Structure 1
Amino acid sequence: MEEMTHPAEIENKREYTKLLVEVLPHVIHTEEENERYTAVLERLLAKRNRTAEETRILELLTLLIEDFEEKNYSLPKATPCDVVRHLMESNGLRQIDLIEVFGTESIVSEVLNGKRAFAKSHIEKLSKRFNVSPEVFFGSASKSLTRKVNHR
Structure 2
Amino acid sequence: MTFMLILSITVIAILILSGRAKNMRPNDWLALAIALLGVNFLRGGNLIFGSGLIAGAAAWSGFKLFGDRKTTTAEKGKPRNLELDQARSLLGVSEGANAAKIKSAWRSRLSEHHPDRGGDEELARQINRARDILLEEMEAIRHK
Question: What is the TM-score when the length of structure 1 is the normalising length?
Answer: 0.33
Question: What is the TM-score when the length of structure 2 is the normalising length?
Answer: 0.34
Whose helix proportion is higher, 1 or 2?
2
